[in-house]
């Protein structure tokens, strides 16, 4: 039965790796084709907004059908969307309209696919005879590995090929993820009750059921707010603060290394939880993650020597890997299987909008008061969020009864 978990992790890792490569190659393709940074920004917005809507709309669908089917369909949509651009390039030629159209189409594959794979994890763990905590830890490690390898692979491919040709490869990765998911038996992706017993969702309210569930649950509400704080500070730091700092220092080549240090930390944090999560109480991992992320952001925010920024990024990744694993497990334990797709779809939809907000906030702070103001505000935001979590009994005790 371990073969089931292997195919699950392989499909998850392949999908994330493809997304990581696309995130680098697609903006370069837009920039090279249109010559306009504004055009690249327009495509990013065109992808983010429909992705958020797709998360809200498709989450309930993930609960209506087999999660394996939903994941396969999502990967097929992503593969077809990415394939459109090379085909159009070879025939009638690309323009900004094609990029926007493809961004909208692909958004209906990305978030639902992530949601479906997250929702099926408890069933996969049971079928494989593995603790859910271990499988979540391995999944977080794969995310870190994909974030570590993706930019490097994208850089090599873009240097060797035209950016548009790289999309043939990323489309193939999406198709491979679909095939790997197809190998997983359908019975292994649902819990005992099966999808047939799920009550029919209310069509007029299904889009908002996830929001209602999160709002009414103190623990889910707290975790989503904490995720918003982390996502905002992280996006602002890696998307604006670090690039601007190194650009001003005349050392833009270090930006990629900092992001790799962050990804390496995620890899170690998730791997540590997978290996030791059953031995160390889960609330210890959670609290350690809160503190480590705060220490890492403070180290980055000081904008000291290059090595200190590298270390800070690695510490943020390490803390994030520990904390994210516990949060993922908390959603498994606190959301009924029949609603898991709806709730996770809502969470993923919300988080899709966070990077643009974080980068916008950082840009405004830098414009008003420079990098020092930006790093001070961002570090303070996370410290306040961490203190709020530690002062909230249900979050402070997160996982105390497990592990």
- Give pLDDT tens digits for 279-288: 888 888 889 9
CB atoms within 10 A of CB 373: 14
Question: What's the pLDDT tens digit per position in 343-352?
Answer: 888 888 888 7
Nearest to 342 by CA among 16, 70, 131, 8: 70
- pLDDT of 204 > 50? The answer is no
**Mean pLDDT for all residues in the chain:** 81
Q: How many CA atoms lie within 13 A of 171 on its CB side?
A: 18
Q: H or E element: which one contains 93?
A: none
Does residue 240 fall inside a structural domain? Answer: yes
Q: What would the two tokens of residue 193 be?
A: 């009750």
Query: In 291-398, at which residue ranges do the beta strands (DSSP E only) sit?
Result: none
Same domain? For 269 and 388 the reply is yes
| Structural contact between residues 63 and 341, judged by C-beta atoms closer than 8 angstroms | yes
Same domain? For 184 and 220 the reply is no
Same domain? For 159 and 234 the reply is no
Cα separation, 329 vs 403, whole angstroms: 11
Q: Evaluate the CA torsion angle 113, 23, 158, 10 in order and state its sign.
A: negative
Does residue 98 fall inside a structural domain? Answer: yes
Same domain? For 243 and 291 the reply is yes
Cα separation, 201 vs 266, whole angstroms: 36
Q: At a CB cut-off of 8 Å and minimum separation 6, what does 90 contact?
A: none
Same domain? For 268 and 358 the reply is yes
Does residue 138 fall inside a structural domain? Answer: no
Same domain? For 188 and 219 the reply is no
Cα separation, 172 vs 208, whole angstroms: 34
Does residue 140 fall inside a structural domain? Answer: no
Does residue 268 fall inside a structural domain? Answer: yes
Does residue 198 fall inside a structural domain? Answer: no
Cα separation, 37 vs 45, whole angstroms: 13
Does residue 128 fall inside a structural domain? Answer: yes
pLDDT at 199: 43
Same domain? For 185 and 278 the reply is no
Question: What's the pLDDT tens digit per position in 20-41?
Answer: 888 777 777 777 777 766 666 6
Complete DSSP assignment for 197-246? GSPPP-TTTHHHHHHHHHHH-HHHHHHHHHHHHHHHHHHHIIIIIHHHHH
Query: Any idea of the CA torsion for 114, 120, 121, 124, to the nearest 10 degrees?
Result: -140
Output 55 or 105, whichever has higher pLDDT: 105
How many separate domains does the chain show? 2
Q: What would the two tokens of residue 139 be?
A: 């999944």
Domain harbouring 11, CATH code: 1.20.1250.20
Does residue 137 fall inside a structural domain? Answer: no
Instruction: Tell me which residue range forms the domain holding 264.
Output: 208-403
Residue burial 351-371, b: 16+ Cβ < 10 Å; e: rest: bbbbbbebbebbbebbeeeeb
Same domain? For 185 and 242 the reply is no
Cα separation, 78 vs 57, whole angstroms: 17
pLDDT at 399: 59
Same domain? For 155 and 266 the reply is no
Same domain? For 67 and 181 the reply is yes
Same domain? For 105 and 242 the reply is no
Question: What's the pLDDT tens digit per position in 312-340?
Answer: 999 999 998 888 888 888 887 888 877 87
Nearest to 330 by CA among 371, 383, 257, 273: 273
Same domain? For 159 and 277 the reply is no
pTM for the whole structure: 0.76
Cα separation, 191 vs 194, whole angstroms: 6
């Amino acid at each position: 039965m371990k073969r089931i978990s292997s195919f699950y992790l392989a499909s998850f890792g392949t999908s994330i790796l493809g997304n990581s490569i696309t995130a680098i190659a697609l903006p370069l393709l837009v920039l090279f084709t249109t010559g306009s940074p504004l055009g690249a920004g327009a495509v990013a917005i065109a992808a983010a907004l429909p992705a958020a809507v797709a998360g809200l709309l498709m989450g309930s669908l993930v609960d209506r059908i087999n999660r394996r089917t939903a994941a396969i369909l999502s990967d097929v949509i992503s593969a077809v969307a990415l394939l459109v651009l090379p085909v159009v390039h070879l025939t009638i030629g690309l323009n900004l309209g094609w990029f926007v159209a493809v961004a909208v189409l692909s958004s209906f594959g990305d978030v639902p696919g992530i949601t479906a794979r997250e929702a099926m994890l408890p069933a996969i763990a049971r079928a494989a005879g593995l603790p859910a905590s271990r499988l979540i830890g391995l999944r977080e490690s794969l995310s870190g590995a994909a974030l570590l390898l993706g930019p490097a692979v994208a850089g090599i491919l873009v240097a060797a090929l035209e950016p548009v040709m790289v999309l043939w490869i990323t489309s193939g990765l999406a198709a491979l993820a679909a095939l790997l998911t197809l190998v997983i038996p359908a019975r292994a992706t649902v819990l005992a009750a099966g999808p047939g017993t799920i009550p029919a969702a209310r069509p007029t309210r299904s889009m908002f059921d996830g929001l209602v569930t999160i709002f009414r649950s103190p623990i889910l509400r707290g975790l989503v707010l904490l995720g918003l704080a982390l996502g905002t500070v992280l996006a602002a730091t890696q998307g604006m603060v670090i690039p601007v700092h190194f650009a001003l220092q005349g050392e833009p080549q270090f930006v990629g290394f900092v992001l790799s240090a962050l990804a390496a930390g995620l890899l170690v944090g998730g791997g540590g939880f997978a290996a030791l999560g059953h031995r160390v109480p889960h609330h210890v991992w959670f609290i350690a993650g809160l503190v480590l992320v705060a220490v890492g952001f403070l180290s980055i925010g000081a904008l000291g020597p290059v090595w200190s920024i590298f270390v800070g990024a690695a510490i943020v990744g390490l803390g994030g890997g520990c904390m994210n694993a516990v949060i993922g497990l908390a959603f498994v334990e606190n959301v009924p299987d029949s609603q898991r797709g709806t709730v996770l779809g809502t969470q993923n939809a919300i988080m899709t909008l966070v990077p643009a907000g974080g980068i916008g906030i950082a840009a405004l702070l830098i414009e008003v008061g420079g990098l020092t103001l930006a790093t001070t505000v961002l570090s303070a935001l996370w410290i306040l969020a961490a203190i709020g979590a530690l002062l909230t009994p249900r979050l402070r005790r997160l996982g105390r009864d497990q592990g």
